[in-house]
Amino acid sequence: MYLHLKRLTKEYDGRAVVDDLTLEIERGEFICLLGPSGCGKTTTLRMIGGFETPSRGEVRLEDEDITSLPPNRRPTATVFQSYALFPHMSVIENVAYGLRATGAAKKEAHAKASEMLDLVGLGGRYDSRVAMLSGGEQQRVALARALVVNPKVLLLDEPLSNLDAKLRERMRREIRALHSKLGTTTIHVTHDQEEALSLADRIVVINEGRVEQIGVPRDVYQLPATDFVADFIGRGSLIETADGVKFMRPENVSLSLQSGDIPGTVTQRQFAGAFVTYFVDTRYGSVQADVSTPADGEIPVGTTVWLSLEMPIGVEGTSSASNGAQA
């Protein structure tokens, strides 16, 4: 196993913010730690990077115990949410900083920094001041500075959270493309479900310091292990029928004015461009249905409709899954 987190626990004032977390990561994997604010995902990342010391447990890299090593002695590199760039330095000086700090000559460091800047699409901005760059360009500089030292593990702490929606989408594509080129083992912290689903080889869903589920994006989305995962990932409706508790994704609910499985009344509708989301009150509770935007108008609020449920998802109805579960 390339990177092994063994029963990691971090306590503050007797309260565990990371609780007995175990995770095995293969070389070259792109892992997303996903969960709500305060769930312990960033603390986990900081323990991997050496910025926090575990209360208990181990961090092992290539079977070497690095739990007690400080950040500067670990073969890891971190891109922080704030990017932490040096405003008084040029772009190339920022990227070369880590190499210079380890004793590399200026010419050699700048040559490697130039190659990395070319790779992230900033070949023409070597001499620019970072304060003159856009948010997306600053994020690329931070990535280049982390990657130029050739880390064994790249740690990304919500690096896209300060960008607008369009730029976040573009940077997700660029980060994934960069990972495909370099193959660096990457751990990415985010609370954005869409970000995790689009980037990760595997997603680790964390809630209140404990692992709820580990799996590939499609399984986490379509086969949630717990009610928390079902509710947190994407959108949907949790309904309880005679057959048990089911979780319905809006795209798997068909709506008809003539016939179906469950009758209900439209209580609200939300236009989303390519589709309209209808909220339908049924005897099982409120159900969401995504319907392609019709050319002849939307169904009015108050209309009686029929719902057909396709691919209902069964969930365990518990708040937590096994913490050591592996996909």
Q: Name the nearest CA neighbour of 45 among 232, 186, 233.
A: 186
By residue count, the chain amounts to 327
Mean pLDDT of 167-180: 91
Query: Residue with structure tokens 């095995």?
Result: 24
Query: Residue with structure tokens 């929606």?
Result: 165
SS3 232: helix
Kind and range of the H or E run holding 229: helix 227-232
Q: In the structure encoding, which two tokens stand for residue 197, read together?
A: 């689903």
Q: Residue 152: is its pLDDT beyond 60?
A: yes
Close Cβ partners of 177 (under 8 Å, ≥ 6 residues apart): none
Percent of the chain whose pLDDT exceeds 90: 65
Cα 290 to Cα 269: distance, rounded to the nearest angstrom:
10
Q: In the structure encoding, which two tokens stand for residue 295, read together?
A: 């050319």
Does the CA dihedral 30-136-78-10 come out positive or negative?
negative
DSSP lists the bridge partners of residue 129 as 90
At 124, the pLDDT band (50, 70, 90 cuts) reads confident
Contact between 152 and 61 (Cβ < 8 Å): yes
DSSP label of 129: B
**Structure confidence by residue, pLDDT tens digits, 248-287:** 889 989 999 999 989 999 999 999 888 999 999 999 889 9
At 238, the pLDDT band (50, 70, 90 cuts) reads confident
SS3 180: helix
Cα 278 to Cα 257: distance, rounded to the nearest angstrom:
13
What local confidence, expressed as pLDDT, does residue 312 receive? 60
Q: Name the nearest CA neighbour of 49 among 20, 78, 25, 10.
A: 78
Q: Residue 320: is its pLDDT beyond 60?
A: no
What local confidence, expressed as pLDDT, does residue 327 receive? 36
Longest dimension (CA), the chain: 76
Cα 22 to Cα 7: distance, rounded to the nearest angstrom:
5
Higher pLDDT, 242 or 97: 97
Torsion from C-alpha of 46, 47, 53, 59, nearest 10 degrees: -160
Residue type, 216: V
Q: Out of 34-43, 167-176, 318-327, pick the least confident.
A: 318-327
Domains and CATH numbers, the chain: 1-75+151-235+319-327 (3.40.50.300), 250-310 (2.40.50.140)
Cα 270 to Cα 289: distance, rounded to the nearest angstrom:
10
SS3 151: coil
DSSP lists the bridge partners of residue 291 as 276
Query: Residue with structure tokens 């079902």?
Result: 230
**Structure confidence by residue, pLDDT tens digits, 196-227:** 999 999 999 999 999 999 999 999 998 899 88
Close Cβ partners of 23 (under 8 Å, ≥ 6 residues apart): 4, 5, 31, 204, 211, 214
With vertex at residue 204, the alpha carbon angle to CA 41 and CA 172, rounded to the nearest 5 degrees, is 85
Q: Is 83 left (phi over 0), alpha (psi -120 to 50) or beta?
A: left
Kind and range of the H or E run holding 147: helix 135-147
